[in-house]
Amino acid sequence: MRQVLGWGVDCFEQSKRLQWLEKKYTMSKYANYTVASDDYDKTRAAVGVDTILACLARTAVRLGDQTVLETGCGTGNYLEALRPHLACLAGIDFSEGMLAQARTKLSEDVELTCGSILDMPYEDERFDGITCNQVIHHLEEGPDAPDDPADWEPRHFPNVTQFFQEAYRVLRPGGAFVINATSHDQCRDGYWWADLIPVAVARLNCRMPDLDQLKQILTVAGFGIESVSADLDGILQGPSYLDPQGPLDEAWRAGDSTWSLTSDTELIDARQRVERMNAEGQMQDYLDERERKRLDIGQTTFVCGRK
Ligand SMILES: C[S@@+](CC[C@H](N)C(=O)[O-])C[C@H]1O[C@@H](n2cnc3c(N)ncnc32)[C@H](O)[C@@H]1O
């Protein structure tokens, strides 16, 4: 039987063709940022900073006078890139490991807080703008049983809902809430290696709302949807992205939490495929084909909600 998510989006469309694969795979643990923080910056770049600044700038308060919060700030790559343009900047993340890395690259005037974005320790209407980069997919638990995807339960994303309500509370009227997230299609075709681990990608897509759902949750929280734009150029993993041996390296894989959703078996299969393509001289053609798809769809989408 096919199940449909709360907003009428069938997130199993893609995974149905993977059912036979699913049976052979068992789950391993999802992203652990205390461990990943050491290597995170080796494979991460702040993508779409100009888009974020453009959204923030369409606010009555001048950009240079704004106080902005980065939610799920991680190692502070976005805070570092945004800092020169804004009056005050704050970041919140619940991983001490990630915040420790952030502290090494930021001056003391950036206020860093260890806490959950689902229940933020800020007074109402404190910020002129809020950003959220690549965090939404971490807020919900996904299916973790090795059973047939047809048995996975429908999901309603209560944590994303709670986070958006919190963002609305701490944002000033007229402020921008800029979300950088990966759509379900981008998950499949915006990353060359996604084709190597399709079950993990299907699982990831079940952990997070797709764009229509995201917009709906934003609207219910009170935001107006001001703009939605795919970033066709930005590459989240920076220069290391097209490393043809990348999937063989644990530190490289740590740069994207999708890899944490692979089972041991799926990871072994993916590694063997990479080794074989490299050994047989097919890797460049494969990368070229996958790059054509990425250039069409991009890796991330920026959604600007306005209070
Ligand atoms: C993929 S990283 C993105 C980090 C940063 N925004 C960037 O783009 O470089 C996701 C971050 O979200 C944080 N995170 C996930 N859920 C969170 C929550 N409920 N509260 C606070 N931080 C959270 C993780 O600790 C991690 O640092």
What CATH number should be reported for the domain holding residue 280?
3.40.50.150
Computed from CA positions of residues 236, 185, 142, 90, in that sequence, does the dihedral angle turn out positive or negative? positive
Residue 40 CA, closest ligand 1 atom number:
9
1 inside domain: no
State pTM to two decimals: 0.86
- Pocket perturbation via mutation, ligand 1, pick of 94, 103, 105 by most ligand atoms within 8 A of CB: 94
3 inside domain: no
8 inside domain: no
Predicted pLDDT at 261: 87
9-13, 159-163, 229-233, 265-269: which range is least confident on average?
A: 9-13
202 inside domain: yes
Predicted pLDDT at 146: 42
pLDDT band at 251 (very low <50, low <70, confident <90, very high): confident
121 inside domain: yes
Give the three-state DSSP class for 249.
coil
For residues 63 and 112, what is the distance between their CA atoms, to the nearest angstrom?
20
- The tens digit of pLDDT for each residue in 52-75 reads 999 999 999 999 999 999 999 999
- Residue 108 lies in domain: 13-306
72 inside domain: yes
For residues 136 and 160, what is the distance between their CA atoms, to the nearest angstrom?
7
Alpha-carbon distances, residue 303 vs 48, 226, 254 (angstroms): 11, 8, 26
Contact 146, 22 (CB under 8 A): yes
4 inside domain: no
* Residues ≥6 apart with Cβ < 8 Å to 204: 137, 142, 187, 258, 261
Burial class (CB in 10 A: 0-12, 13-18, 19+), 42: middle
Q: From the CA of 73, how far away is ligand 1's center (Å)?
A: 6
Q: From the CA of 93, how far away is ligand 1's center (Å)?
A: 6
For residues 255 and 271, what is the distance between their CA atoms, to the nearest angstrom?
16
Q: What is the mean pLDDT of residues 205-213?
A: 90
Predicted pLDDT at 199: 87
Alpha-carbon distances, residue 189 vs 31, 92, 295 (angstroms): 21, 30, 9
82 inside domain: yes
- The tens digit of pLDDT for each residue in 112-170 reads 999 999 999 999 999 999 999 999 998 987 665 444 555 555 567 899 999 999 999 99
How many domains does the chain fold into?
1
Stated as kind and residue range, the H or E segment containing 109 is: none
Q: What is the CA radius of gyration of the chain?
A: 19
Scanning the structure block, which residue is given the tokens 């079940």? 206
- The tens digit of pLDDT for each residue in 2-41 reads 333 333 333 334 334 334 333 433 333 456 666 566 667 7
Predicted pLDDT at 30: 56
